[in-house]
Structure formats: C-alpha cells, structure tokens
Chains A and B, each alone.
Chain A
Amino acid sequence: MKDRLIKIYHGFGLPRLIISVFLLALIIVAAGTDLSVPGLLSDSLVRIGQNGIYVLAMIPSIQAGAGLNFGLPVGVIAGMVGVLVSMENSLIGFGGFLVALLVAIPLGTIAGYLYSLLLNRVAGQEMMVGTYVGFSVVAGMCIFWLMAPFSNPALIWPVGGQGLRVTLTLADTFGGTLNNFLAFQIFGLTVPTGLLLFYALLAFLLWLFLRSKPGVAMEVVGRNPRFAVASGLNINSYRSVGIVLSTVLAAIGYVVYAQSFGFAQLYNGPLMTAFPAVAAVLIGGASTREAKVVNAIIGVILFQTLLTVAMPVTNQLVEGNISEIARVIVSNGMILYALTRVTGGEQA
C-alpha cells in the first residue's frame, strides 16, 4: 500500500501536488467568501474544454523533436478562417460547427506542412523560430482580415463595408453548440458535456496515434534522429507529421474555443494563444523533449482551474479591482515557473 502511494506520488510529481494543494486551499477560501464555488467550478470546466485542445496540440510537436509548438497561431488562423467561412454562410448549430471544422482542417494541414518545411530547416531552434512565425502570421493576417472577400453584414464593418470587424459574436450561429450538447446540472454545477466529450475524443485519438507505428516512428525521430536514420526512417517527413498534426489540432482547437467563448477575436486576438498552452503542458509534467497525453490533460485542468479560481478569490480578499494584474501575474508566473522546469515530471 505504502509503496503504491509512493509510486503514485512519483508519477504525479511534487509540482503538481503543490499546485493541487494550493488549488484546494483556494477553493476552501472561496467557500468562505460570498463567491459561488459551483459557479467557479463550472467556469473551470468550460475553460478546460475550451483550452484543452491547444494543450494537446503541444504533444505531437514535442514528440517529433520540434519542441513546444510556439507557432500555434499558424493553426489558430486556419481555424479562424473555418469559423468565418461558416459564419459568412450564416450556418447555425452543428452544421455551422462542422463546416467550420471541414474548412479548418485542410487549411490547417496545408499551413502546418508549409510551417514544417520551415522548421525542418532550422532544426534545433524550432521554439524560437516558431514564436516569431506565430507573431508574423498574426500580423500578416491583419492585412488579410481587412481585404478578405467576406460580405455578410454580420462580419464586416458596418460603415464603409470593407474589412472584417475586430470582434464577432457567434451567438446567432453556432456559439455554445458543443457546450450545450447534453449539458446538465448537478449540485449547482453546469457540466458542458458535449465540449468535454469532444475534448476526450481528440485526446483518445491522439493517444491512439502515439501508440501506432507512425506514432512510434515519430517519437523515435524526436528522441534520436541518428538512430531513426539507421532504422530506415525519414526524419524530415516524420517531423512534418508531428508539426502538421499539432497545427491541425490548433485549428480544431480554435473552432472549439470560439464556439465555447461565443466570440471570434480577429486581428491581434490569437497573438498569445501559444503561451498558456505551453505553460499548461509543462505544468502537466511534460518536458521540451517528452510529453504524454496525460501531461496535457493534467496540465490543462490544473492551469485553467487555478486561473479561474484564483482571480475572483484574490479580488475578494484584496480591496479594489486588481483582477487584471492578478491574472497577468498568475499566468505569466506559471509560465515562468514551468519553463524553468523544462526537465519535466521526473526531475521536476
């Protein structure tokens, strides 16, 4: 029994234990104030499902040896175009959601492939290059949003009639479609069943892929390229597989995020998408060289719950509205912590 507990503890890791304890303490404090604990937890569930796929997207690129995918916006933009195409045609409900995915996935594949061609040329510096690719793509797309041939009045600026708006609402199309699917209430807690199921499905598919022959090959390429060559594997093509997969997951992630959030934020909206996802997967126990699906799941649960719960609690405890400051400190502090712990679960 004791041995098993020790084994579980080692598997979970001290950082995650500390964060969990801290989280529990926060929730207890929250219960002592006039905050609604079920409400906070409901928000957490939504944010977990909403951000979970971005965190999953980190795994294929880490496993393929390209490190954390800081170029996540490349995929996010593909997802954005998918959402816009669906909205342009005023598709509502599941139809709208599916069309958005159907557009986003092929676009994500193409964008991811091109991105992988670049990363294969800068092997060893993927994370640095990826960060700037992400920034540049967002900036470049700002021009596209202004010139894009969309004509639905709900999307474009009301006056002048050219260019997309900064913030679009999905309330009239497919906002909340997934969240409300089979949603139910229990102890005052709203469970976004569809959202969580969709996330679980993707996590399962990714897990399956990592156990398949190409998944194993990708991992070998990431861990020791020279061994991979000697085993007859083509390094660049498996790295591309990982990066494309990561980008496609980001594209799907955006469609899910937008329907859950209820708004699509264009222009500089996706600039920072990679950072919380990076922080979450590292907190979950991954390193820049090794990541499992379970790291992504634990990471997104801890990170998003902490963000959701910590903010209102600090606001309650400290006079005045410091919510924004607290959010920045907490989330960047966690990224900083996580990046200093790049060795991952075992040594962290």
Chain B
Amino acid sequence: MSVPVLEMKAISKSFYGNQVLNNINLTVNKGEIHCLVGENGAGKSTLMNILFGMSVITDTGGYDGDILINGSSVAFNSPKAAIEAGIGMVHQEFMLLPGFTVTENIKLNREDTKPNVFSRVLGRKMETLNRKKMASDARNALDKLGMSIDEWVPVAGLPVGYLQFVEIAREIDKENLQLLVLDEPTAVLTESEAEQFLTVVQRLADSGISILFITHRLDEVMAVANQITILKDGELVRSGRTGEFTIAQMAELMVGRKVETSGRISSEKREKANTKVLEVRDLAVDMPGERLRGIDLDVYEGEILGIGGLAGHGKIALANGVMGLYTSRGQVRYQGIDVPLNNPREALNLGLAFVSEDRRGVGLVLEDSIANNIVLTSMQTQEKFLKPGPLKLKDQKQITAHALESIERFDIRCTGPEQIVRRLSGGNQQKVCIARAFTQNPKLLFVSEPTRGIDVGAKSRVLELIVELNRMGVTVVITSSELAELRSISDRIAIIYEGKLSGILAPDAPDVEYGLLMAGKSLEEVGIGERQTN
C-alpha cells in the first residue's frame, strides 16, 4: 500500500492541565473517506485544530505527537501552512462573504489576474481580475459537485444547503488539494440535501481526494465511510473498517451507553381527544426562505403533532407565524379565542410557548446566566419571580431556586445556575430553552428543530423531555427536519410542501407515503388511499 496522505501519531493535548486528547492515532489513505465520530466535547474539533495549526493550539503550548503528510513530518504553525500543504477545510459555520458572488467566494484571495498598464509599472498587486477564467473555474468546481446554481449569483439569499456546496467548491478548486476536512457538514442540511451531499463526497473520494469527515449522523457514516474512528472524552475508543461496525455499536461506543437510534420513544397508542386546541385557517407566513402560503390545520388537545417537510418548504414558518414573529395573514383560534397575529405578546399571554429553531439567535440570551434565561420570558409576560410591591423588583432567591429545580428536572449539565449559557454545549442550551418554555406553564408548546446540532446522547434526552412534558398535559407541536425523530414521538405528522399542507400521516405509515407527500404528490394521486389519521 502507498504512503498514507495523513498520519497523526500519538497526538496528545492538554489545556491548562486539562487533558483533552490522549494518544490519538489516525491514518487517512489516498482516496479514502475516513469518518471521525464522537459526542460534542469528545475532542474532534481540537484534533482538527491541531492538524490546522490554529492559534488556539499554538498559543496554549502546542501539542505532543507527530503529524505526517505523505510520509514526511510536518508541524503547521498557521492555517495558511496547512492549506499550502494541500489540506482543505469546510467549517461548521459558513465562512462566506454574503455580498460576493459564488465565483468571488470560491476564488477569494486566489483570484486569477491578468497584467494591465498599471500592473506593469506598479507590480502584481495592481493586475486586473480575469473574471472569465475565474467564472469558468468556479463553474468547473460546481459541476464537479453536480451543482446547478449559477456562478454569478450573490451568496446572500442562497438557501443554507447551497452554501455548504459553495464552500466545498472553494476547497476543491484549490489545485493541490489532497485532504478535505468536513466538519459536521450535514448538520444544517435537510435529508435530501444531505443525501446529495454524500454522493458528492463519494465522487470526490473516487477522484483521489482523501476525506476526513466529522459527523453526528451515524447512518451517514455507514453510507460513505471506508474507515471509522470513534473518539470519546479525548480517547480513541476504536478504529476500524466500516464493515466492522453497526450503527447501534457505534452509538454505543460513542456515548458509552445503550442508545436507541430510531425506535419509538412513546410507544403506547393513545385515545385521541376530540377537543381542538388550535385551529389554523388559511395561515400565510412571510418568513424569508420558509414561506407558508395558506395552511389549514387543527391541533387536538393533548397530542404531539409533528410538522415535517423539506427545508425551504415552510414547515418552520408555522410556529413562527402563530407566535407572531414573522408577518402573517389568516386566522388562528386557540381554545376558541382568536389569536391576534403579528403580536408575540398576545400569543404568549394566551398561554402559548415557543422553543425556536434558532437557538442561539432567538432562543437564548447567550451572555446571560442559565437562571435568567429560564425565567426571563415568564417574568416579563406573567409577572412571575418578582417581589411583591410596586417596584416589581426581581426575586433572586426564587429565581435561583427555580433554576436549580429546572437544572435537576431537565438534566442540564452545568457548573451552576449562574453559568453563562454561551459556555454550555448545544444539547444543554436546548434544555435551557425547553426549561424556559416550561416555566411559562404553557398549554400549547411549539418546538422547532429541537435536536439540530446536538449530539446523540443529548438528542434522545431532549426528545424524552418533550414527551414527558406532553404526558403532563402540554399539547406539543414539534417541527423537525429529521423524520425519524418526528416518527419516534408524534401522534400525527403533518407534511408541508411548498407552503401548503401536503397531508397528515400516522407515525407508523410506510416510508413511501412520507416520501410521496414530501415530494408534493398527494396520496390519492398515486393510488394509495388516504389512511385514517383524523
């Protein structure tokens, strides 16, 4: 066998005496897809930062161990050095300039130039951009990825899924690219986008580029990986060929406990109440990228209603519209009372609560403590946690007591109620969001994308929490891009297609029916009679 593209030998790293990586070995061969899996905090990011010579590593005393590229030892002291050695990285957060076109982003700082009058005098810095060449290079890179988007459109306004491809196009456009590191690239993609993405990754690997793929989604790992390495708490748990693992085994090794990957959390069939809690009539929500174009939907008391569909089809807009966060038209009745639209205050006052899909942007005050995040909404809308008296001073004692209780109940892993929310992992942040909504004592709870970007262990815990709340009498409307997740907890699942309701299915309906509804085909149309779901 030829020399491996990348070899990392006995890598160890500690931050201020805190061992975060211990004796990690990793080998990536040419044209191979190597999956690196592990929970949040397992040390994946640190390992990649070491590979890339990021300043967080060099500033904190470097690392122990050796890195070999094509058999020769290297030590990168800056990302630039790593890039020059042929390593490319696609980050979890997009690193694109929104106002620039796709081409400009792909070619940023590596623009093709041609000489002109000024450059002959003043040097290369003054050369003109060779836009034609740049555009054709960009086109080429996009074609390799099977992307149909035009290379001249600005990046701003492109759907999230496309941004990922633009980032990859930028990396593969680099001629000396040998190893591409993908850091949780599918976290923000929908299922169909992710599928397309995996095909592309496969194609890249076939063309001889080695790929180091970091992900939480184990079925993806099974689908594309040649080699798998599992990290847990900074240790290498196991490494081997893909065939040596099953999904269940991987999940188990990763979290160190048994985890059900799919399988229904709420298994019992329940009697459906006949009282409608929420009646939505012809609701249109003007949410950029997720427009809802008129939908009729009833929510029954005590149920968990799942809302599914592909990204960009408007499923997320439903909760945002009802809660008044985006401009909407139509009629919403809650327990027979009209909910005034475009007025978050009124929606909250009526007893609706919302866990936003944008956890860090809308769901939390990142710089504030866990305790404050949990009580803020209730304090402002329901006058809770205030001392009696005209001054309405906040009651710190009561707040702390409630926060401690919530931390216990929702299993929030933290150093205490005063810890700043920014420092928590995604899963624990999500638990804080749910605790906040629960503190409002809602009758009807909207939860959007509750498991986006959080690790497997926390995922099932979050879903369990939602089910627990439901059993305590809260009606839940859950929106998610992960169908398996909806099917594991919902009583009914509504599928949204192009801003309209495509159909409602039972959680145990066959996959094909889900597939059809998501593709915008009605069940009658293809000859499957509608199932009795209502």
Task: Give A contacts to B, CB under 8 Å.
Answer: 208, 211-214, 216-217, 220, 223-224, 226-227, 229-234, 289-290
Contact = CB atoms under 8 A, between A and B. Distances in A.
A93 to B, nearest CB: 32
Nearest to B360: A224
Nearest to A290: B367
Contact of A212 (B358, B362, B381, B394): B394
A216 B376 contact: yes
Contacts of A208: 391, 393
Given A223-B366, A230-B362, A231-B381, 14 more contacts: A212-B393, A216-B376, A220-B368, A224-B361, A224-B366, A227-B365, A229-B325, A229-B362, A230-B344, A231-B344, A232-B344, A232-B381, A233-B380, A290-B367
Interface residues of B, number: 30
20 contacts: A213-B392, A213-B394, A214-B392, A216-B376, A216-B394, A220-B365, A220-B380, A224-B361, A226-B358, A227-B363, A229-B344, A229-B362, A230-B323, A230-B344, A230-B354, A231-B348, A231-B381, A232-B348, A233-B345, A290-B367
A226 B320 CA distance: 12
A342 B525 CA distance: 62
Nearest to B364: A227
B68 interface: no
Contacts of A233: 345, 380
Interface string B340-360: 000011011100001010100
9 closest A-B pairs by CB? A232-B345, A213-B392, A231-B377, A224-B365, A232-B348, A226-B362, A232-B344, A223-B365, A212-B392
Nearest to A224: B365
Which has the most chain A C-beta neighbours within 10 Å: B363, B365, B381? Answer: B365
B468 interface: no
B323 A216 contact: no
Contacts of B349: 232
Nearest to A217: B380
Contact of B356 (A217, A230, A232, A289): A230
A92 B323 CA distance: 58
B386 interface: yes
Contacts of B393: 208, 211-213
Interface string B137-168: 00000000000000000000000000000000
B325 A230 contact: yes
A216 B386 CA distance: 11
B383 interface: yes
A227 B372 CA distance: 12
Interface string B59-96: 00000000000000000000000000000000000000
B519 interface: no
Nearest to A230: B362
Contacts of B376: 216, 220, 227, 231
A192 to B, nearest CB: 29
Interface of B: 323, 325, 344-345, 347-349, 354, 356, 358, 361-368, 372, 376-377, 379-381, 383, 386, 391-394
Contacts of A217: 380
Contacts of B354: 230
A216 B365 contact: no
A315 to B, nearest CB: 43
Contacts of B392: 212-214
A212 B380 contact: no
Which has the most chain A C-beta neighbours within 10 Å: B323, B356, B376, B381? Answer: B376
A226 B344 CA distance: 11
Contacts of A231: 344, 348, 376-377, 380-381
A232 B380 contact: yes
Contacts of B325: 229-230
Contacts of B362: 226-227, 229-230
A216 B379 contact: yes
A42 to B, nearest CB: 36
Contacts of A234: 345
Contacts of A227: 362-365, 376
Contacts of B348: 231-232
Given A212-B391, A230-B362, A223 B367 contact: yes
A201 to B, nearest CB: 15
A234 B344 CA distance: 10
B320 to A, nearest CB: 9
Contacts of A212: 391-394
A213 B380 contact: yes
Contacts of B323: 230
B379 A226 contact: no
Contacts of A226: 358, 361-362
A208 B387 CA distance: 12
Nearest to A234: B345
Nearest to B375: A216
A110 B386 CA distance: 30
A234 B358 CA distance: 20
Contacts of B386: 213
A103 B246 CA distance: 78
Contacts of B377: 230-232
Contact of A213 (B344, B345, B358, B379): B379
Contacts of B391: 208, 212
A223 B344 contact: no
A289 B392 CA distance: 24
A290 B347 CA distance: 30
A216 B356 contact: no
Nearest to A226: B362
A233 B362 CA distance: 13
Nearest to B349: A232
B380 A224 contact: no
Contacts of B364: 224, 227
Contacts of A220: 365, 368, 376, 380
Contacts of B380: 213, 216-217, 220, 231-233
Contacts of B383: 213
Nearest to B391: A212
Which has the most chain B C-beta neighbours within 10 Å: A211, A214, A217, A290? Answer: A211
B324 to A, nearest CB: 8
Nearest to B366: A224
A300 B22 CA distance: 49
